[in-house]
Structure 1
């Protein structure tokens, strides 16, 4: 069983997948930073505040024993106040769109590169076939 596991892990597809997951996680951190630290502050400034991710609408009453700020989204959420966190949702949506667009560009570039490589492989196969025909003609 251990030998089968080693063979499974040593296969290229599994290693490629592991590398892709690690790079994907690092890439997600970069996109999160881009969104949280660069894009959303600009959008928030245009919308009238600096932290757009904390925009919300309170849907219910605040507990009587709550002593925090009525404008602190995280504290209200922790206290169990029903909130419509449209700012947090919009931030997550923008992160998704950025990530999806970048993945689209990467897949598009990879497809273009793979297409060129396949064309080269097809040309090589045609050249081999032509050389075999020439060889066979010379033998005759």
Structure 2
């Protein structure tokens, strides 16, 4: 089989297509959570810290003025942008929590996993014995 034929076989497997769909949906979902954090959650939190944009909190590392917006301060020299880091960290925590809740819901909808019954266990043991006998 040619390399293009092998690639076509690989690309058309269900797992690859499912992964592509998952990545696309995950990217869109990430933007939704990013907007939730940036537009809904962070404004009330920033009010607790003086009403400024929380993502613009930084510490200058070269003695520059702290009244500059973050973008201008970064142009002027090195800064420790802890506000931006905290925003991204909160974004990650919320995203992980929402994904955890979704997995929990899916597991609950599937119902409890039924244990293997004794009859099934005996059947499996019998099939293993047959397999071992055939190997000999």
**TM-score if structure 2 supplies the norm length?**
0.73
Give the deviation of 1:45 after TM superposition.
1.2
For residues 32-56 of structure 1, what are the alpha-carbon distances to aligned partners after superposition, in whole Å with 9 as ceiling and x for unaligned?
A: 1111111111111121123111011
Give the deviation of 1:2 after TM superposition.
2.1
Q: Which residue of 1 aligns with 2:82?
A: 86
Map 1:27-106 onto structure 2 (within 5 A).
27-62=29-64, 70-79=67-76, 81-106=77-102
Q: Does the 8 Å CA contact 1:69/1:75 hold for their aligned counterparts? A: no
Looking at structure 2, the residues matched to 13 and 109 of structure 1 have their Cα atoms a distance apart, in angstroms, of 23
Give the deviation of 1:115 after TM superposition.
4.7
SS of aligned partner of 1:108 = helix
Q: Which residue of 2 aligns with 1:12?
A: 14
Q: Which residue of 2 aligns with 1:26?
A: 28
Which sections of structure 2, spanning at least 5 residues, go unmatched? 124-136
For residues 92-129 of structure 1, what are the alpha-carbon distances to aligned partners after superposition, in whole Å with 9 as ceiling and x for unaligned?
A: 1110110010111122223334455x64xx79xx8xx9
Q: Does the 8 Å CA contact 2:60/2:66 hold for their aligned counterparts? A: no
Inter-CA distance 26–60: structure 2 relative to 1 (3 Å threshold): same
Which sections of structure 1, spanning at least 5 residues, go unmatched? 63-67, 130-140
Computed over aligned residues only, the root mean square deviation of the Cα atoms, in angstroms, reads: 2.8
For residues 52-72 of structure 1, what are the alpha-carbon distances to aligned partners after superposition, in whole Å with 9 as ceiling and x for unaligned?
A: 11011222134xxxxx98421
Looking at structure 2, the residues matched to 28 and 99 of structure 1 have their Cα atoms a distance apart, in angstroms, of 7
**TM-score if structure 1 supplies the norm length?**
0.71
